[in-house]
Amino acid sequence: MSGNLNNKGRNNLLPIARDVIKHAKAGTMRQAKDVMRLPASNYTDNNRFAAELEKVIKRVPIILGPSCEIPNPGDFKTINVAETSLILSRDKSGKANALINVCSHRGACLTKKEKGNSNRFTCPYHGWNFSNSGELIAISSEDDFGKIDKNNYGLKSLPVYESAGLIWAIINPESKVDIPSFLSGYDKMLETFSFSDWIFVSKRTFKGPNWKIAYDGYLEYYHVPVLHRETFGVDATNRGLYYSWGPHQHIKSPAVEKGHIATETLGYLAELIDKSEDEWDLETLTYGVWTVFPTTSIASFDAGGRGVLISQILPGKKVDESITTQYYIMEKPPSDPEAAEEQFDFFQQVVMNEDYATGASSQPGLKEGIIDHVLFGRNEQGNQHFHLWVEKVLNAKNDEDLNSIFLNGAL
């Protein structure tokens, strides 16, 4: 990664760091204008859930994984998004492809492998053969089968965008959504990490409650010293400062404690307070939570080396189910791989036993209408921003409408 880019990234992060330190020193934070009220049925209604799948999840770009999960030509993985099985592959030119895992002959699932390396996919039903960029290469017993134009029978291919070491796709082959407009410059901020040079270390997948209930927990720090008192400690911050690029957000903490257990994850910049700006290091400047609308959250950690946990929270089959995949990627291989895995287990347990168990506990009360709306405080700005954007995207009439909403940016 060129020094130029890192300098540029550093320059982008400096104004944020100055703002964080200003608030840390003054003991202040920015607040949203008002307390927000959101109907409880937004989390429980089946029709609403179906609309979110069609108009949000299948309409905006979704991160399918980090580039370093499929670093080499021929590498592929399969992934399910909104009941659609996809193959994410890297072809011989190095380009990432997102292909729908459905054979064009009679619809069989092409591969059930979770990952592998292959330039071709052969359908297990009648043996049709596809390239890893989706072209139909060979029809078995072609003379017997009869003539069709192979060019019209490749695998359905989704719009893909690879930037900042992350791979986005839109779950609609016909989408007209402009991915750079959607990203609103946010990928330029994420480029500061140089994820494209990092390595894939580990991955875990597990169930959670409604996808937005699960995602809400990644959007505020208010709960941290209470819900995570046993793990992050009672003295962890409950304040967050929010910075946004279109629907995407970065959260840092205006805290003054140094060397706190939550330093990397919550984005404490206290170590920089007494240093001159030219001594502010790029790594510390990137600390905190980076949420990529609508399903991804990226948070730093240290596990015998610098790393990030990329959490991808996808809706499950039903309104009250989600599937989370945690991708652990690191700048270099961990110094002690076993200890690193133990730390990843710990992060997974925190999310499952504290965040998701508590999220699940709120579902019956919301479903039964015991409370008819939920509240997001002026200190829960990240959630307010997220839910306003979900509403905006849901209400967009078509892809053109969405593009103009993203181009216009701010709410």
Interface positions with ligand FES (CB under 6 A): 103, 105-106, 108, 123, 125-128
Smaller CB separation from Fe ion, 217 or 254: 217
Which one of ligand FES, Fe ion, none is in contact with 108 (Cβ closer than 5 to 8 A by kind)?
Answer: ligand FES
Q: Retrieve residue 360's tokens.
A: 């699940």
Binding residue for Fe ion, selected from 65, 159, 208, 217, defined by CB under 5 A: 217
DSSP 101-119: SB-TTT--BS---SEEE-S
* 24-32, 33-41, 104-112, 355-363 -> range binding Fe ion (CB under 5 A): 355-363
Cβ proximity to Fe ion: between 41 and 238 the closer is 238
- Nearest partner of 387 among 81, 48, 63, judged by Cα: 48
DSSP 253: B
> Whose CB is nearest to Fe ion?
355
Instruction: Measure CA of the first residue to CA of the last residue in the chain; give whole Å.
Output: 34
Q: Residue 48 binds which entry of ligand FES, Fe ion, none, with Cβ cut-offs from 5 to 8 Å by kind?
A: none
The least CB distance from residue 121 to ligand FES, in Å, is 10
Between residues 69 and 355, which has the closer beta carbon with respect to Fe ion?
355
Q: Is 380 in the site for Fe ion (CB under 5 A)?
A: no
Residue 263 in contact with residue 250, Cβ under 8 Å? no
- Which stretch, 81-89, 278-286, 313-321, 351-359, contacts Fe ion (CB under 5 A)? 351-359
Are 88 and 97 in contact, with CB atoms under 8 Å apart? yes
- If the CB atoms of residues 184 and 300 are measured against Fe ion, the closer one turns out to be 300
Q: What is the dihedral of CA 67, 308, 8, 220, to 10 degrees?
A: 120
Nearest approach in angstroms of CB 143 to ligand FES is 16
Question: Could you tell me the smallest distance in angstroms from the CB atom of residue 227 to Fe ion?
Answer: 6
Minimal distance, residue 148 CB to ligand FES, in Å = 12
Contact 389, 383 (CB under 8 A): no
User: Minimum Å distance from CB 126 to ligand FES?
Assistant: 3
Using rule CB under 5 A, residue 355 touches Fe ion: yes
Alpha-carbon distance 187 to 170, whole Å? Answer: 16
What DSSP string runs through 28-55? -----SS-EEEEGGGGT-HHHHHHHIII
Residues 6+ apart with CB under 8 A from 71: 90, 200
As given in the structure block, the two tokens for residue 378 are: 């002026």
Taking the least distance from each CB to ligand FES, the nearer of 55 and 105 is 105
Q: How many residues bind Fe ion (CB under 5 A)?
A: 2
Return the number of the residue (137 or 282) whose C-beta is nearest ligand FES.
137
| 380 contact, one of Fe ion, ligand FES, none, CB 5-8 Å limit per kind | none
CA–CA distance, 55 with 380 (Å, rounded to integer): 25
Binding positions for Fe ion, rule: CB under 5 A: 217, 355
